Structure 1
Amino acid sequence: MEATVEQPIEYEDEKMSSLNHSELQSRLAFLFMSAYRQQYSIFTELDLEFASGKTRPDLCIFPKRQINWMTDEIIVHDVPLVTIEILSPEQSLNSLIERIYQKHFPAGVKTVWLIVPSLQIVSILLPNRQQLNFTEGLIADPETGLQLNLADIFEG
């Protein structure tokens, strides 16, 4: 019996990373893991495939999942509660927002945190196109209760 291997997902708008992008991705993973590790599972660069399409957010937050180190998933079909997208220098804001509303929300994602590093803004997007913008203080997700301090994310 021949084993089959799932092919990696190819994306039409593959983004290039950068130093600041990578730093933010690492910080966010650390901050969420430090505060919410008992309640949630936090993943970076996870390939997701939904009926609405394929996507690879910078971070995904799921209800706590039990990890089985004996088996692995190349492409995950479960829907995260939250996805986090960090705008890359070469990425179009419009195309990123379009992808969020065409792929993330139709799949059932509750909220998407959209981070614009150069402006030090975190926006929480909701499926009904409501948007909460944070430029200082405590970032509070109205759907999940997740909270982070903006100063911790963009600390010098």
Structure 2
Amino acid sequence: MSPSKLHSYLQSALDAVFRQFPQFSVFANLTITIADADYIPDVCVYPKFAINFFEPDEIRMTELPQMVVEIVSPTQTIQEVLDKFPIYFQAGIQSCWLVVPQTKTVSVYIAPTQAQVVSMTGEVVDPVLNIRVPLDQIFA
């Protein structure tokens, strides 16, 4: 999958949004390993932890994030993205955001079949992370 211009823009915007919250450590395109398979969510949000640049770097994270964001690209279907969510939840990830650029929509999943959808205007509420984000901060 080649990220598009909108995909890349939204990934950067979401990174900036989550960095406003001091309780989180935020990573873009981080490889996480679940059941011997690698996944690369667009954004991963962990509870805050210190980064030590003198320790060996990690190529694949086995410690899973609290939340992931997947942004739909023109080269993939929404269903392809949604198919990852049950895997994420079963592994212990507690919240998944689905971002659809063309409709300016964010769906916050707290279970594979339980989502709150915010489109065009309003506020994205994530009860797991206990945060609220105005949609216009993401699609500005």
| TM-score, normalised with respect to structure 1 | 0.84
Structure 2, unaligned stretches of length 5 or more? none
User: What 5-or-longer segments of structure 1 have no aligned partner?
Assistant: 1-14
TM-fit CA distance, 1:53: 3.2
* Alignment partner, residue 43 of structure 2: 59
* 1:18 corresponds to: 4
Structure 1 runs of 4+ with >4 Å offset: none
Note the 1:55-134 alignment, pairs <5 A: 55-70=39-54, 71-101=56-86, 103-134=87-118
Quick one: structure 1 residues 31 and 67, their matched pair in 2 at CA, closer, same or farther if it must change by over 3 Å? Answer: same
Equivalent pairs counted in the alignment come to 138
Superposed CA offset, 1:4-54 (max 9, x none): xxxxxxxxxxx2101110000001101111x21x21100000000022732
Tell me the percent identity. Answer: 33
CA contact (8 A) 2:66 2:93 kept: yes
Q: Deviation per CA, 1:38-97: give whole Å up to 9, x if none.
A: 211000000000227321000000001111101210000011110000000111111110
3-state SS in 1 of match to 2:83: helix
Measured on the aligned residues, the alpha-carbon RMSD in Å equals 1.2
Structure 2 counterpart of 1:120, one-letter code: K
